């Protein structure tokens, strides 16, 4: 019986909940559930602006997707993604991801490296296929290249590779205006690391004999998303002076909203360190909230569930340490190995 998350996972370095704190050189850090939700839904907190570039480049993609769009452009661009996702049945995505996972497990022999062989390629191939991209396997490879450079401030060498991958993806999208194709690609890129991270950490923590996994896959993954989210935080900047959590934030303040801390706030989640897959729903902030909340949360959870379904009855995790890719706001395992039973 699992009593606390620490029974199956070491500390993730999540900060304690408290009032917003100011860190010179970094800005404000927000950790309490109510404060994070308030910032996500208050128009005084906006996504930091990004620079654009020539069509078909990474900079152009970032400036064209709803994720980084200013308020006046956000709603229209978000609607593109919402319409595309509305055509996709999450149950069918889950079934397709499970079938592909089982097929890959059957061909793998005795061992698989989950992140490389399953967690990234399977959800991307399924989603790319359903969104109408030509050659979904090649598209998935290109998406992973773009995702590695998607957030501003990365190595210029990664940006050059990502520029080429964006051009490949544009050519594989179904015929449509550039803005529509950009936001289809955005759906794929934004699901890449987050979905892979959820799969990897769930496999690492739960696919071992000492951990009972009798709960349903979706319930297990939602609780993993709460306790060890692949997206640990998101950034905002204040466009007006605003009061948050008893603190006065001047206009132009950088703000880091910590999902990982907010998801362990005892005022929102009683007994927050307990691993409870049957915990009542509602309140999870890993997918954001408000008008910029993730439009594909059900689809991402379905894809991750399909992969996990394909593994949980067939595989056990190899007992190796869990390491993560270096990133300021994501928590993505580097490698997770399983053996096939």
341 residues of the chain, pLDDT tens digit each: 455 566 556 556 889 999 999 999 999 999 999 999 999 999 999 999 999 999 999 999 999 999 999 999 999 999 999 999 999 999 999 999 999 999 999 998 889 999 999 999 999 999 999 999 999 999 999 999 999 998 876 778 889 999 999 999 999 999 999 999 999 999 999 999 999 999 999 999 888 766 656 778 999 999 999 999 999 999 999 999 999 999 999 999 999 999 999 999 999 999 999 888 888 777 899 999 999 999 999 999 999 999 999 998 889 998 888 899 988 899 999 999 999 98
pLDDT at residue 10, rounded to an integer: 54
Q: How far is 164 from 157, CA to CA, in rounded Å?
A: 11
Q: What's the alpha-carbon Rg for the chain, to the nearest Å?
A: 20
Assign 291 to helix, strand or coil: helix
Q: How far is 95 from 76, CA to CA, in rounded Å?
A: 31
pLDDT at residue 210, rounded to an integer: 63
Q: How far is 180 from 174, CA to CA, in rounded Å?
A: 10
* DSSP characters over 206-220: HSSTTS---S-HHHH
pLDDT at residue 208, rounded to an integer: 77
Q: How far is 223 from 301, CA to CA, in rounded Å?
A: 12
Dihedral of CA atoms 83, 300, 141, 86 in degrees, nearest 10, equals -10
Label residues 294-329 b or e (16+ Cβ within 10 Å = b).
bbbbbbbbbbbbbbbbbbbebbebbeeebeeeebeb
Structure tokens belonging to residue 135? 């050659």
pLDDT at residue 1, rounded to an integer: 41
Q: How far is 334 from 325, CA to CA, in rounded Å?
A: 6
Q: Return the CATH fold of 5-340.
A: Cytochrome p450 (1.10.630)
pLDDT at residue 339, rounded to an integer: 93
Q: Considering only CA atoms, which of 28, 339, 57, 92 is closest in space to residue 178?
A: 57
């Amino acid at each position: 019986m699992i009593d606390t998350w620490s029974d199956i996972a070491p500390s993730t370095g999540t900060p304690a909940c408290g009032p917003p704190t100011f860190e010179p050189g970094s800005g404000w850090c927000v950790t309490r559930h109510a404060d994070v939700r308030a910032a996500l839904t208050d128009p005084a907190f906006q996504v930091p602006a990004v620079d654009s570039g020539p069509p078909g480049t990474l900079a152009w993609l970032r400036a064209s997707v709803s994720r980084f769009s200013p308020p006046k452009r956000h709603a229209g661009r978000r609607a593109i993604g919402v319409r595309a996702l509305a055509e996709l049945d999450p149950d069918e995505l889950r079934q397709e991801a499970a079938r592909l996972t089982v097929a890959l497990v059957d061909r793998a022999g005795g061992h698989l490296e989950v992140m490389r062989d399953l967690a990234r390629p399977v959800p991307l191939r399924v989603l790319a296929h359903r969104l109408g991209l030509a050659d979904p396997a090649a598209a998935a490879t290109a998406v992973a290249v773009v995702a590695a450079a998607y957030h501003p401030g990365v190595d210029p060498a990664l940006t050059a590779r990502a520029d080429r991958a964006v051009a490949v993806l544009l050519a594989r999208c179904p015929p449509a205006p550039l803005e529509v194709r950009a936001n289809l690609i955005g759906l794929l890129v934004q699901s890449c690391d987050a979905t892979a991270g959820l799969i990897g950490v769930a496999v690492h923590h739960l696919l071992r004999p000492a951990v009972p996994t009798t709960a349903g896959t979706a319930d297990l993954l939602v609780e993993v998303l709460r306790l060890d989210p692949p997206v640990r935080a998101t950034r905002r900047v204040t466009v007006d002076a605003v009061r948050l959590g008893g603190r006065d934030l001047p206009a132009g303040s950088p703000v880091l909203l910590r999902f990982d801390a907010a998801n362990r706030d005892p005022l929102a989640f009683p007994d927050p360190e307990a691993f409870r897959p049957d915990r009542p729903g509602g309140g999870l902030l890993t997918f954001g909230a408000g008008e910029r909340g993730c439009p594909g949360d059900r689809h991402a959870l379905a894809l991750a569930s399909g992969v996990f379904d394909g593994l949980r009855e067939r595989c056990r995790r190899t007992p190796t340490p869990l390491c993560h890719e270096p990133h300021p706001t994501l928590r993505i395992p580097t490698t997770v190995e399983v053996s096939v039973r």
